[in-house]
Structure 1
Amino acid sequence: MRTAASETRAFPLSAGILFGLGLGGFFDGIVLHQILQWHHMLSSWYPIESIANLELNTRWDGIFHSATYVFVVLGLFILWRAAHRGHLSWSNKLLAGSLLLGWGLFNSVEGMIDHQILGVHHVNEAMPRDQWIVWDLGFLLWGLAMLIVGWLLVRAGRRERAA
């Protein structure tokens, strides 16, 4: 016979990481692309100097938003599946830590690939070009800080669950 303790399932870190990836992407797309209009998805390659370039960038912004939406849906699916099949061991530290891990992962990967390697856009293209690197590095440092704090929270949450 199974007891309640044997039915408890570990918190699905992958769900939190996917939520963090999605939330990081939504923040980037909504705040940096739309509200502040510092850059668009391809604005270094196709500057917003014509309607055609604005349309192209808007389309790629939409594709980007669609990908972040998929991350959130996948995270929700994993969380629902884990919670639905038995008692889920909830933990604020594990949730916050995994969200920060995902968001930090988003900033780190997107910052390295899009800003540094491909150069499709930079964090704040409204600033003079020689200052773009400062904003790009700040974005990467922000991502690294989230990864570190997220990792520390996940470690603390796991220690609490083990105790």
Structure 2
Amino acid sequence: MERVQKDGGLVAAGVLLGVGLGGFVDGIVFHQILQWHNMLSSILPPTNLRDMKVNMVFDGVFHAVTWVTTAIGLGLLWRGFKEDTAPRSTPTFVGALSLGWGLFNFVEGLIDHQLFGIHHVKPGPNELAWDIGFLVSGLVLGGLGWLLIRMGRRALSTSRTRSSST
């Protein structure tokens, strides 16, 4: 009896890993390397040592949540491969990663930058343009991910049809 594989577990794992990777890139690049903002930099500007430490703690909490999200994604991926329920589809997996990263950028940009204003991508001149660019990057990554997932599903469906007809 042929075991029918579905890609839901692969997509869920990929989306969680994409959210985690997007969070790590945001934290490492924007918070640490470029030092454009911290988690609370718009409501508690890090202009003295105490406020810098508070921002650093919230950046750490952000990274901890990002790490947990990534670990859960890895766990789902491992379980799917171990139980042989996750298809080996590169377009589906890469698409799910991209979709997750896009979701991170869009949701984080919408909530933290626009709704609550706790920080902005690059405060100062052209602040809104940077924030909108971050939102657009989320939509582009999410759209690309969705297209890749569809491509992977089509390819998987075609290969199943071919293998069942032989």
Paired residues of 1:9 and 1:86 also in contact (CA < 8 A): no
Paired residues of 1:8 and 1:89 also in contact (CA < 8 A): yes
User: 1:64 is matched with which residue?
Assistant: 62
Instruction: Provide the C-alpha distance between the structure 2 equivalents of 1:79 and 1:88, rounded to a whole number of angstroms.
Output: 8
Instruction: Provide the C-alpha distance between the structure 1 equivalents of 2:154 and 2:99, rounded to a whole number of angstroms.
Output: 17
User: 1:19 is matched with which residue?
Assistant: 17
User: 2:161 is matched with which residue?
Assistant: none
Q: Alpha carbon RMSD of aligned pairs, Å?
A: 1.3
Q: Deviations over 1:7-40 (max 9, x none)?
A: 6453520000000000000000000000000000
**Identical counterparts, % of pairs:** 46
Instruction: Provide the C-alpha distance between the structure 2 equivalents of 1:71 and 1:86, rounded to a whole number of angstroms.
Output: 22
- Large movers: runs of 4+ above 4 Å: none
Instruction: Provide the C-alpha distance between the structure 2 equivalents of 1:111 and 1:84, rounded to a whole number of angstroms.
Output: 36
What is the number of equivalent residue pairs in this alignment?
157
Paired residues of 1:7 and 1:86 also in contact (CA < 8 A): no
User: 2:100 is matched with which residue?
Assistant: 102
Paired residues of 2:10 and 2:87 also in contact (CA < 8 A): no
Pick from 112, 115, 130: which aligns with 1:114? 112
Instruction: Provide the C-alpha distance between the structure 2 equivalents of 1:138 and 1:88, rounded to a whole number of angstroms.
Output: 34
User: 2:156 is matched with which residue?
Assistant: 161
User: 1:6 is matched with which residue?
Assistant: 3
Paired residues of 2:77 and 2:86 also in contact (CA < 8 A): no
Instruction: Provide the C-alpha distance between the structure 1 equivalents of 2:5 and 2:46, rounded to a whole number of angstroms.
Output: 53
In the superposition, the TM-score normalised over structure 1's length comes to 0.92
- Residue 83 of structure 1 aligns with an amino acid whose one-letter code is F
Q: Which blocks of at least 5 consecutive residues in structure 1 are unaligned? A: none
- Residue 152 of structure 2 aligns with an amino acid whose one-letter code is G
User: 1:152 is matched with which residue?
Assistant: 147
SS in 2 for 1:20: helix
Instruction: Provide the C-alpha distance between the structure 2 equivalents of 1:86 and 1:50, rounded to a whole number of angstroms.
Output: 53
Instruction: Provide the C-alpha distance between the structure 2 equivalents of 1:86 and 1:19, rounded to a whole number of angstroms.
Output: 19
Inter-CA distance 87–46: structure 2 relative to 1 (3 Å threshold): closer
